[in-house]
Amino acid sequence: MDSTVRKLSNGLHPIDALDKWFSDGVQLIGQATLTAVKTVKYALAGQIDLPEVFRQANMIGVGSLYVVGVTGLFTGFAMSLQISRELAAFGADTSVGGVVAFALIREVGPITAGVMVAGRVGSAIAAEISTMMVSEQIDALEIMRVDPVQFLVVPRFLAALVMIPALSIYSMTLGLAGAIFVAQAKSNIPPDIFLDSVKQTIVGSDFVTHIVKSLINACIIIFFSCAIGLHTRGGAEEVGHATTRAVVWTMTLIFIFNYIVTALSNLHTS
């Protein structure tokens, strides 16, 4: 009875499941690292398909404007509503702008944009490339002596390096605009007081941290989604598994590296 209770739905004991998850993770990190090395090598050598880069930039950036914008705006709404109410209760309403902006610029902005793009773009990349794998289109490329990394990964990587930081800044900007609106509408905090608090709180290193996190998010989304797609074997069912793995791993790693960058930046400033 105890053995049955401790088994997971897939028939594995918790320890076995943890061991399998760890092994899969190590293998995936290795695959993503090798993909990244080859991608950077091709990019530095100038072996770039510019039309495809622009096409991917449109898919990653323009295609994500709506979902990232709405998410960023309502995140700013919610943060301003909660923070302004709490700080106003302590007579610190003049600090609302700085607190909200600090959270949006350093933490919430990059994570919100990263997670939304991972869900939309990362899953699409993994599904597309894994479908090409199981339908033997990748094999056809290799027969024609075309490296799938150069053909598929490099354009997506270069497009993501530009568009994901841009989306992150876009999300942060809309979040701040929404925060200003809610602070005035719900807590009677004028925009000039809100912005004055932002100026007194935010420094240049906060924006550097924002950009660094966005670039790391771009690398995570592209390299892990492409690595998962390029190593998919089987049939249609495996395509679904690859898509799920891409979303789970990219989102998990975005949160992990967000913490690492935050910890390192705090260590630097202390």
* Domain residue ranges of the chain, discontinuous segments joined by +: 50-269
> On the CB side of 15, how many CA atoms lie within 13 Å of its CA?
1
Structure tokens at 9: 């739905």
How high is the pLDDT of residue 268?
61
Mean pLDDT of 45-71: 91
Q: How far is it, in rounded angstroms, from Cα 101 to Cα 80?
A: 10
How high is the pLDDT of residue 270?
56
Residue 84, amino acid: S
How high is the pLDDT of residue 157?
95
DSSP secondary-structure letter at 135?
T
What is the DSSP track for 60-111?
HTGGGHHHHHHHHHHHHHHHHHHHHHHHHHTT-GGGHHHHHHHHIIIIIHHH
Kindly report, residue by residue over 244-267, the tens digit of the pLDDT: 999 999 999 999 999 999 888 877
Kindly report, residue by residue over 117-166, the tens digit of the pLDDT: 999 999 999 999 999 888 888 888 888 888 889 989 999 999 999 999 99
Kindly report, residue by residue over 187-201, the tens digit of the pLDDT: 888 888 888 888 888
> On the CB side of 101, how many CA atoms lie within 13 Å of its CA?
23
